[in-house]
Structure 1
Amino acid sequence: MAESPLILLAAGGTGGHLFPAEALGVELIKRGLRVRLATDARALKFSGLFTRDMIDVVPSETVRSRNPIALARTGLMLGYGMLVALNVVRRLKPAAVIGFGGYPTLPPLLAARVLGRPGIIHDANAVLGRANRFLSTRVNAIATSLPGVLDRDPALASKATTVGTPMRPAILAAAAVPYASPEVNGPLRLLVVGGSQGARVMSDIVPPAIEKLEPALWSRLILTQQVRDEDMARVRAVYDRLKINAELAPFFSDLPAKLASSHLVISRSGAGTVAELAAIGRPSILVPLPGAIDQDQFANAGVLAKVDGGLRIPQNEFTPDRLASEISALAAEPAKLTAMAVAARGVGRLDAAERLADLVMKVAGI
């Protein structure tokens, strides 16, 4: 009996890229297809659908500066990755190659084009990322998470389909948990995360903000915070001194469940994070990563801020005083938190994996 068609998924090695790829992989397997993942070495630390024997590591490098030496090094690494990707695509003969953003997707998608295999890119951001922008004219179809991303480019908009951000099974399970409003004097569950790589600004701002809260609120807090190893001692010292009930770790493998149990989330506004907050329906205070060329995180946070599902605070305004004020106001008004949860959930999409799988099968001719 002939083997079922293979779909090659390509993603950068961070959660924001890998999790949607995993979600699509789960859906494609349900439909009887085979999947493999082409990515960089960072992905090997993530657990989930893709076991080591399902992964092809393709060398890659990100454009980090305009320094000629750095650009040359990046070009050489991407060139080497292209040779590896050509061998992978030639060997696997995938029915289609699907990229989820990040420079590690360039070699597999370009190899697919050279070898005549259909290519699709998915972008979870409110603006197209640099790697996807480069690939956009070289693929058969573009899937976006949000409507209107390509409205200013009719040529690209004609091959774009809005599908949402595919959600892995753990997020779908969390989305089934209804939001439970905090009681006026009851526990307040606060989750602080900084994306899959962590964020030092959270360690710099959140502890002194907590210290500025009324002492009566300290005893109510159940705080869960992602903290880098190098920041752990100083953050823990503050919370121990204030006798805050705090769980600190560099990484949470059960983050979807923690999102579901939270009353308020403080976070960066990466595309994956914003999509998950919307899918689960949780209030948030979002601090976009500053200095990004595309200002993608600022645009992502705007999706929730526009519907009053989250508060967007630029990093230069994200001070201990401002954060303490926002937490205090929300803690005193549980109805506001509930309204934010409902608003966030209103822009969430839970069927994105199915929609993207439909597009993949159409483009692949399956």
Structure 2
Amino acid sequence: MSDTPLIMVAAGGTGGHLFPAEALAVELFKRGLRVRLVTDARALRYSGLFTPELTDVVPSETVRGRSPVALAKTALKLTAGGVKALMLMRRQKPAAVIGFGGYPTLPPLIAARLCGVPTIIHEANAVMGRANKLLSTRVSAIATSLPGVLDHAPALAAKATVTGMPMRPAILAAAGVPFVPPEADGTLRLLVVGGSQGARVMADIVPGAIERLEPALWRRLALVQQVREEDMARVRVVYDRLKINAELAPFFSDLPARLAATHLVVSRSGAGTVAELAAIGRPSILVPLPGAIDQDQFANAGVLERAEGAIRIVQPDFTPDRLAAEMSALAAEPLRLTTMATRARAIGTLDAASRLADLVIKVARG
């Protein structure tokens, strides 16, 4: 085995967890360290930095219900994952383990602590998630993407460092593109994204909002919208009838570049989305995902709203009339769009991967 220190990153198999883990790994590789990913089976579909040779799959499960049967199944799966993670720690002997949130991080982080390995958690949201809450008192250090996450818990705040959200190279490249406001009668570029849990509401509300705009604004719009396959026909028929210049797709692989090219974003407010909007500096209308126990998206959107870089609309108020009114007002005030872009950019962090790597190395060295 190499004498080069090994850092293990633990992350669930979704982009929201894997992207910052990968960004950190790139920075650690640059510094000459070895990095392995510990994750659940979902990440096997992922074709990024972490090849199968650099990936260890540990069984895990998210709490999906409160019934005794559901809780028992989750406990059994996590226990099995813990046993496998314990064997993995003893075999690989990492210098430190860092978790990026979600229940898949529980087995490796707990196993690392049992083996005396230094541990870190990274909290992406403005409020701490449930898995990180369970781990927070047991880990060596806590990194947060946003300030003030642990203001209510002085004991935890004492071991916390604000590092920001590690960014993919494509986001860092997009951050170098300056915001150019639309001309008074020029093209207004609108980007609408929703993610796996948000595209439905965007399909329900945005076409109706576009329909309520002044016809003069229809001719100015260059619309890019994420639309699920099952919603595609009903959304397209509205835009075709209005003769809107619209590009619709279920997924955009070049989303960072599209963010950089837009004048206004309408989106959910997941941690990654909010961090990317701040890093690139783009005005947004944010609609937090309702019903979450932690209300993390509501808090995330609040960070940009308080900075005056975004407008937050809770879903019950997210109606075609409200959205049309907000878009019309912004389209009529290019200077306001520029101000929002500047304010969003002011709270963005581009060197988060470097900051987090510094913390990981410091903790690994004890």
| Partners of 2:282 and 2:303 in 1: CA distance | 14
Counterpart of 2:192 in structure 1 is: 192
Check 1:302–1:332 CA distance in 2 against 1; reply closer, same or farther (3 A cut): same
Q: CA deviation at 1:3?
A: 3.7
Check the 8 A contact 2:198/2:289 in 1, yes or no: no
> Any gaps of 5 or more consecutive residues in structure 2?
none
Q: Letter of the aligned partner of 1:332 in structure 2?
A: A
Count residues in correspondence. Answer: 366
Check 1:2–1:47 CA distance in 2 against 1; reply closer, same or farther (3 A cut): closer
Counterpart of 2:147 in structure 1 is: 147
Q: CA deviation at 1:78?
A: 1.2
Q: Letter of the aligned partner of 1:21 in structure 2?
A: A
Check 1:14–1:282 CA distance in 2 against 1; reply closer, same or farther (3 A cut): same
Q: What per-residue deviation string (whole Å, max 9, x for no partner) do you get for residues 272-302 of structure 1?
A: 1101100100000000111111111111101
Check the 8 A contact 1:16/1:196 in 2, yes or no: no
Q: Letter of the aligned partner of 1:18 in structure 2?
A: L
Counterpart of 2:341 in structure 1 is: 341
> Any gaps of 5 or more consecutive residues in structure 1?
none
Q: Secondary structure at the match of 2:38?
A: strand
Q: Which moved more, 1:27-36 or 1:214-223?
A: 214-223
| Residues 96-107 of structure 1 aligned to structure 2 (within 5 Å) | 96-107=96-107
| Partners of 1:45 and 1:23 in 2: CA distance | 18
Q: CA RMSD in A?
A: 1.5
Check the 8 A contact 1:85/1:111 in 2, yes or no: yes
Counterpart of 2:84 in structure 1 is: 84
Q: Secondary structure at the match of 1:138?
A: coil
Check 1:127–1:212 CA distance in 2 against 1; reply closer, same or farther (3 A cut): same
Q: Letter of the aligned partner of 1:153 in structure 2?
A: A
Q: What per-residue deviation string (whole Å, max 9, x for no partner) do you get for residues 102-154 of structure 1?
A: 11111110111111111100001111110000010111100011222112212
Q: CA deviation at 1:238?
A: 1.9
Q: Secondary structure at the match of 2:56?
A: strand
TM-score where L is the length of structure 2: 0.96
Counterpart of 2:309 in structure 1 is: 309
Counterpart of 1:231 in structure 2 is: 231
Q: Letter of the aligned partner of 2:77 in structure 1?
A: M
| Partners of 1:88 and 1:236 in 2: CA distance | 50
Q: CA deviation at 1:337?
A: 0.5
Q: CA deviation at 1:2?
A: 4.0
Q: What per-residue deviation string (whole Å, max 9, x for no partner) do you get for residues 188-247 of structure 1?
A: 111111135543111111111111111221221111111222222222222222222222
Q: What per-residue deviation string (whole Å, max 9, x for no partner) do you get for residues 62-83 of structure 1?
A: 1122122111111111112212
Check the 8 A contact 1:61/1:78 in 2, yes or no: yes
Q: Secondary structure at the match of 2:151?
A: coil
State, as a whole percentage, how many aligned pairs show the same letter: 76
| Residues 10-29 of structure 1 aligned to structure 2 (within 5 Å) | 10-29=10-29
Counterpart of 2:93 in structure 1 is: 93
Check the 8 A contact 1:198/1:250 in 2, yes or no: no
TM-score where L is the length of structure 1: 0.96
Check the 8 A contact 1:14/1:196 in 2, yes or no: no
Q: What per-residue deviation string (whole Å, max 9, x for no partner) do you get for residues 288-340 of structure 1?
A: 11111111111110111001100000000000110011111111111110110
Q: Secondary structure at the match of 1:361?
A: helix
| Partners of 1:232 and 1:90 in 2: CA distance | 50
| Partners of 1:253 and 1:3 in 2: CA distance | 38
Q: Letter of the aligned partner of 1:231 in structure 2?
A: D
Counterpart of 1:164 in structure 2 is: 164
Counterpart of 1:182 in structure 2 is: 182
Following TM superposition, the consecutive aligned residue runs of length 4 or more in structure 1 with deviations greater than 4 angstroms are: none
Q: Which moved more, 1:290-299 or 1:51-60?
A: 51-60
Check 1:146–1:53 CA distance in 2 against 1; reply closer, same or farther (3 A cut): same
